[in-house]
């Protein structure tokens, strides 16, 4: 409960300068929504925000010490949550021109769950300067690889097939062309809540101990109703600091790339994205890294696990929309033997796929949605190189009903 009080107080305090400076051409636009959602799962699953942010089913549990012949899956238990509530509240503050640019600031909170204290998430908090052909953003907002996401009823917006990451960053965007139809993006990004996995579990210390932010560069093109783009991210993290050896640091480098496209024409919308690269756990992808095997005594070296993750969605309609999303993720391993693996689910996931049709109806400020998700994970035994063998499929059927009122 204290976390929620602090979050609300921080939002209120952040608004005090608005009333004090209203005479200085400062305005504020509020926005947000209140949603009531009900869901049913056929299998125990990994999820956040009290089940609202759905990810994937857990592995089966067929162990019964009292009866070794009993092999039924003890995690295949239907679960549900009825009329859970979620609220999102944010504002955009428009201030006076600074350095020849229009200035703005944004802050956004999300409250989810129907049991106290639930969860409170500080989603966005940034300052931006907008010139005619460029924008400078400083603070926490979407990772550049998260700018395009599917139109789902669930708030996970396609994760873990789609990147799901909000991070503190310094981002600069520049537009070229007569119609500003080419966008160049460069960003220095720091890890916070969406962090890498490592020897001590999930945390941002591996990135912060390196002293170097992640770097992103991308380009997007607009051709009428079609937009295509891509980008590369470089990360340099520190999985280990040896305090007994004069604070010696051991590093790991990684590179991941993204391509995306979207087409909008009348009532038809098509979106797609593919991510390929190393150690993408901070993006919500089932990935990680490991300690290289066969080294000399006292030598420490890390190698990233590579993976690919893709999704595509087709949606059609006006106030009544029909859509279907498909996703596929694959673990490619490290390409060399590892003695220890630090990865999502301990690198027991070989592949994962999802099919998710939905129907949404918009009337005024209200959105009514229903979504079905079939998510299947191929769990197995990790090999020394980080790939997975002897797999078995575990599936979850999820039905989500949503009523959302936006303002």
- Write down the pTM of the prediction: 0.90
pLDDT the model gives residue 94: 96
pLDDT the model gives residue 1: 47
Instruction: Tell me the CA distances in angstroms from 22 to 19, 105, 387, one per residue in order.
Output: 5, 15, 59
Q: With beta carbons less than 8 A apart as the criterion, state whether 258 and 273 touch.
A: yes
Token digits for 298? 């006292």
pLDDT digits (tens, 9 = 90+) for 223-254: 999 999 999 999 999 999 999 889 999 999 99
Residue 54's CB is within 10 A of a number of other CB atoms, namely: 26
Which three-class secondary structure state does DSSP give residue 14? helix
Chain centroid, CA 76 distance in Å: 26
pLDDT the model gives residue 15: 53
Average pLDDT, stretch 367-381?
98
pLDDT the model gives residue 378: 98
pLDDT the model gives residue 206: 95
Q: How far is Cα 145 from Cα 143, in angstroms, rounded to an integer?
A: 5
CATH of 2-406, one of 2.40.160.10, 2.40.128.120, 3.40.190.150, 3.40.50.280: 2.40.160.10
> 385: pLDDT confidence band, cut at 50, 70 and 90?
very high
Token digits for 12? 């209120």
Start-to-end C-alpha separation, the chain: 26
Average pLDDT, stretch 337-359?
95
**Environment class of 193 (CB within 10 Å of its CB; exposed 0-12, middle 13-18, buried 19+):** middle
DSSP run (H or E) holding 20: helix 2-20
β-strands 268-278, 320-333: how paired? Answer: unpaired
82 beta partners: none
Q: How far is Cα 344 from Cα 354, in angstroms, rounded to an integer?
A: 18
Q: With beta carbons less than 8 A apart as the criterion, state whether 216 and 202 touch.
A: no
Report the chain's C-alpha Rg in angstroms: 23
What strands, in cross-sheet order, belong to the sheet with 338-343? Answer: 302-304, 288-292, 338-343
| 295, pLDDT greater than 70 | yes
DSSP 132: S
Task: Name the E strands within 191-292.
Answer: 197-198, 201-202, 214-223, 226-242, 248-265, 268-278, 288-292
Q: Which residue has the tokens 């693996």?
A: 341
List CB contacts of 401: < 8 A, sequence separation 6 or more.
37, 38, 39, 369, 370
DSSP 43: S
Instruction: Tell me the CA distances in angstroms from 380 to 60, 151, 345, one per residue in order.
Output: 11, 32, 11
Query: Among residues 316, 288, 297, which one has the least CA distance to residue 387?
Result: 288
pLDDT the model gives residue 48: 87
pLDDT the model gives residue 5: 53
Residue 230's CB is within 10 A of a number of other CB atoms, namely: 17
DSSP 114: S
Token digits for 246? 């004069």
Q: Quote the Cα angle for 397-400-403, to 5°.
A: 175
**Number of helical (H) and strand (E) elements in the chain, helices listed first:** 2, 23
Token digits for 131? 């010139």
pLDDT the model gives residue 112: 80
> 83: pLDDT confidence band, cut at 50, 70 and 90?
confident
> 3: pLDDT confidence band, cut at 50, 70 and 90?
low
Average pLDDT, stretch 109-136?
86
| 255, pLDDT greater than 80 | yes
> 20: pLDDT confidence band, cut at 50, 70 and 90?
very low
pLDDT the model gives residue 358: 98
**Environment class of 18 (CB within 10 Å of its CB; exposed 0-12, middle 13-18, buried 19+):** middle
């Amino acid at each position: 409960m204290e976390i929620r009080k602090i979050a609300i107080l921080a939002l209120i305090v952040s608004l005090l300068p608005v009333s004090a400076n209203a005479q200085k051409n400062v305005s504020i636009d509020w926005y947000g929504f209140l949603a009531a959602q009900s869901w049913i799962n056929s299998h125990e699953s990994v999820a956040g925000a009290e089940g609202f942010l759905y990810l994937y089913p857990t592995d089966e549990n067929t162990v019964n010490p009292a009866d070794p012949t009993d092999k039924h899956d003890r995690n295949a238990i239907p679960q549900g949550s009825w009329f859970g509530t979620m609220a999102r509240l944010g504002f955009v503050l428009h201030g006076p021109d600074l350095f020849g640019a229009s200035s703005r600031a944004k802050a956004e909170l999300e409250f989810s769950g129907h049991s106290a204290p639930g969860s409170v998430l500080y989603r966005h908090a940034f300052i931006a300067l907008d010139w005619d052909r460029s924008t400078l953003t400083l603070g926490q907002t979407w990772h550049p690889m998260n700018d395009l996401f599917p139109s789902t009823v669930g708030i996970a917006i396609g994760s873990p097939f789609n990147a799901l990451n909000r991070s503190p960053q310094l981002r600069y965007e520049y537009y070229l062309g007569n119609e500003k139809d080419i966008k160049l993006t460069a960003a220095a990004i720091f890890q916070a809540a969406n962090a890498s996995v490592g020897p001590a579990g999930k945390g941002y210390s591996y990135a912060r101990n390196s002293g170097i932010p992640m770097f992103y560069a991308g380009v997007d093109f607009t051709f009428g109703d079609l937009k295509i783009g891509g980008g590369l991210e470089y990360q340099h993290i520190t999985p280990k600091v040896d305090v007994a050896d004069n604070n010696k640091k051991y590093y790991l480098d990684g590179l991941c790339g993204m391509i995306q496209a979207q087409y909008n024409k009348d009532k038809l919308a098509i979106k797609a994205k593919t991510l390929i690269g190393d150690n993408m756990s901070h993006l919500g992808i089932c990935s990680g890294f490991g300690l290289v095997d066969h080294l000399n005594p006292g030598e420490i070296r890390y190698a990233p696990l590579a993976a690919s993750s893709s999704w595509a969605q087709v949606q059609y309609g006006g106030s009544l929309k029909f859509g279907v999303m498909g996703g596929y993720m694959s673990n490619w391993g490290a390409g060399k033997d590892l003695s220890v693996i630090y990865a999502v689910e301990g690198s027991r996931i070989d592949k994962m796929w999802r099919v998710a049709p939905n129907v949404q109806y918009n009337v005024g400020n209200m959105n009514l949605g229903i979504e079905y998700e079939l998510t299947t994970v191929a769990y197995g035994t990790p090999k020394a190189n980080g790939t997975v063998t002897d797999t078995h499929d575990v599936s979850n059927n999820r039905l989500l009903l949503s009523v959302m009122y936006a303002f």
